[in-house]
Amino acid sequence: MMNFKKYKRVPVLDYPNREWPDKEIKKAPAWCSVDLRDGNQALIDPMTVDEKIEMFQLLLKLGFKEIEIGFPAASQIEYDFLRKLVEENMIPDDVTVQVLTQCREHLIDRTFEAIEGIKNVIVHIYNSTSVLQRDVVFHMDKEAIKQIAIDGTNMVKERMKNCEGNITLEYSPESFTGTEMEFALDICNAVQKTWDHANDNKIIFNLPATVEMTTPNVYADQIEWMNKHFEDRDNIILSVHPHNDRGTGVAATELALLAGADRVEGTLFGNGERTGNVDILTLAYNMFSQGINPGLELGDINEIREVYERCCKMKVGMRHPYAGKLVFTAFSGSHQDAINKGIHAMNKRGDGIWEVPYLPIDPSDLGRQYEPIVRINSQSGKGGVAFVMDAAYGYKLPKEMQREFADVIQKISEKQGEVSPSTIMDKFREEYLDAEEPFAFIRAKVEEPEEEGETRVTLRFRYKGEEMLAEAEGNGPINAAIQAIRGKVPSVDVHVLNYSEHALSEGSEAKAAAYIQMEDAKSGRITFGVGVSSNITRASIRGMFSALNRLSR
Ligand SMILES: CC(=O)SCCNC(=O)CCNC(=O)[C@H](O)C(C)(C)COP(=O)(O)OP(=O)(O)OC[C@H]1O[C@@H](n2cnc3c(N)ncnc32)[C@H](O)[C@@H]1OP(=O)(O)O
Ligand SMILES: CC(C)C(=O)C(=O)O
């Protein structure tokens, strides 16, 4: 048995007055991307300056107004990147860059050197406050730990006097989730008092789940507790910085927003230390899919993924929310059937509201294609095959025909696994459109009666290789064509059960597809035939030939 006794349960906050469970997310928070700092510090190969610039430009394009661009005192590359942004004038006026530093004098000095010339900067200082880190890393008591934060605040306040930029102070009690709440509050209040309204900007208190330690509701309790107990809440921006160690970073962040957080720090696709930071894209798309403006421009997930994968040398998983290759794909029959029906019902409703079973969001809103929504394997059903024929090739198979053609495709998928749309189309051609044995259509002349009366069809066709010319009248072109064939091939004894047609394309090159279901009177066999032509009558006669060939098999 696994030794679960090795682990202690993380204590929960005794906080029965919580209000967050009754709240709803109604607007997006202020977003801060930490891709270039927390994301970058977790990469096997941190980004080069050029890659950082590309990532920075992507973040700007996505509409981030706060971007943590690094830890400029940590290394030359971080410093050079920041200087390049300044010297090449790459930071738009409405964007605030954020820089991280420990509360140590030489690091803060170097940080201020690095930010010289920047208009708006968040100087982000941190020190670890948890019980564990106080004990095993810092060997310090609470007062000494608090003093680090106070000293760091004073250092920023001092250096700010000689700095032209508009500085905002951010303080993070790192490892907040492992810190006693009273102590975290005590430090934040002390930092705020030390800062003492050094300028008009609100102070940012960033309460990180440096390590996600327990269930998201506990984080929400901690955030709400802090939110309610700050001494000067009006002058605070309450920020959260969740990680994803237990796989619940997104849930924890959403509950933290209910609990009163104003701002979220996270990364694209949740890159970051260990299992990552919270994934801002998922959070934003979650809001979008609830009818909330996410405040970011996320209409091209493929581009975001491409830049991210290249700059970070990371891969986005196949099932990653919103971005994964397979997340808008249904293989199973009942899902495909429901998606197919849902999309038709929605188009018919025409009210512009997205409501499709199994698809919480319209893939095209993210720049994803419809076509791969449905992929066909042996788990698929008629709805899926019909969806592919419609979405990829424009053929709207009549409901009664879907089973017939799906059975053909299932035989292939049972042998070879997944069947691509092009293979499905090839098979459709082979089965319905291209067959010329024993009957091959050559041409037809159709004369409609001027008023009441019969339609006359003159038909040229081949039967078992022999060319024939036949003529007959009937109560419509199909009936007349059947009579004409019957005159030459008496064994043909069929009647039409079902007929439908639709335009396949638009404009002067428009073609029509006709579907005709026929029954062989002797054998009782029933099948569909399909015909395509720029002329609808010819399409229906071709469809009849197609059905005759299938009945002759
Ligand atoms: C949760 C987070 O993501 S926090 C951000 C983490 N990111 C990084 O660390 C990436 C960049 N960091 C670095 O490159 C380096 O750590 C540097 C350049 C900042 C500092 O380098 P060094 O001084 O050589 O090493 P190191 O970080 O190990 O310093 C540890 C010392 O700083 C102290 N320290 C650690 N954090 C802090 C802090 N936030 N404020 C003040 N002192 C701190 C430690 O107590 C330790 O002191 P000791 O030497 O007396 O034991
Ligand atoms: C510096 C802090 C905010 C951090 O990165 C963390 O706690 O994860």
Residue ranges around ligand 2 (CB below 6 Å): 38, 100, 126, 172, 174, 206, 208, 210, 241, 243
Nearest atom, ligand 1, residue 71 CA: 11
Q: What is the pLDDT of residue 506?
A: 76
Superfamily of segment(s) 28-312: Aldolase class I (3.20.20.70)
Give me ligand 2 centre to Cα 51, in Å.
23
Q: Within a 13 Å sphere around the CA of 314, how many CA atoms are in the beta-carbon half?
A: 25
CA distance 515 to 139: 81
Cα–Cα distance measured from residue 113 to residue 106, given in angstroms and rounded to the nearest whole number: 11
Which residues in the chain show pLDDT less than 50?
A: none
DSSP letter assigned to residue 315: -
C-alpha 153 to ligand 2 mean position (Å) = 17
Of 3.30.160.270, 3.20.190.10, 3.30.2130.30, 3.40.605.10, which CATH number belongs to 439-551? 3.30.160.270
**Predicted confidence (pLDDT) per residue in 15-48, tens digit:** 999 999 999 999 999 999 999 999 999 999 999 9
- Look at ligand 1, atom 48, and give the residue with the nearest C-alpha: 138
- How many whole angstroms from 236 Cα to the centroid of ligand 1? 26
pLDDT for position 312: 98
Instruction: Report which protein residue has its CA nearest ligand 2's atom 6.
Output: 210
Q: Provide CATH 3.20.20.70 ranges for the chain.
A: 28-312
Q: Which ligand is nearest to the CA of 134?
A: 1
Give pLDDT, residue 510: 87
The Å distance, Cα 350 to ligand 2 centre, comes to 47
Which residue type does 109 have? D
- Contact call for residues 218 and 242 (beta carbons, < 8 A): no
Least distant ligand from the CA of 177:
2
User: In sequence order, what DSSP letters do the residues of 224-292 get, joined into one string?
Assistant: HHHHHH-TTGGGEEEEEEEB-TTS-HHHHHHHHHHTT--EEEEBGGG-SSTT-B-BHHHHHHHHHTTT-
The pLDDT value given to residue 370 = 62
**Among all ligands shown, which has an atom nearest to the Cα of 242?**
2
Residue range(s) in the chain whose domain bears CATH number 3.30.160.270: 439-551
Residue 264 pairs in a beta bridge with: 31, 240
Q: Which of 79, 101, 102 maximizes ligand 1 atoms within 8 Å of its Cβ, making it the mutation to test the pocket? A: 102
Q: Ligand 2: which of 66, 104, 176, 206 to mutate, most ligand atoms within 8 Å of CB?
A: 206
pLDDT at 229: 98
- What confidence score (pLDDT) does residue 141 get? 98
Let me know the angle formed at the C-alpha of 362 by 427 and 402, rounded to the nearest 5 degrees. Answer: 30
Summarize the annotated binding site as residue ranges: 38, 241, 243, 277
Q: From the CA of 110, how far away is ligand 1's center (Å)?
A: 14
The tokens for 235 are 């002058």
Give me ligand 2 centre to Cα 426, in Å: 55
Q: What share of the chain is helix, strand, coil (3-state, %, to 5)?
A: 45, 20, 35
Alpha carbon distance 114, 98 (integer Å):
12
Tell how far the Cα of 10 is from the centroid of ligand 2, in angstroms.
20
* Best mutation site among 111, 126, 177, 244 for ligand 2 pocket (most ligand atoms within 8 Å of CB): 126
User: Pairing mode, if any, of strands 494-503 and 512-520?
Assistant: antiparallel
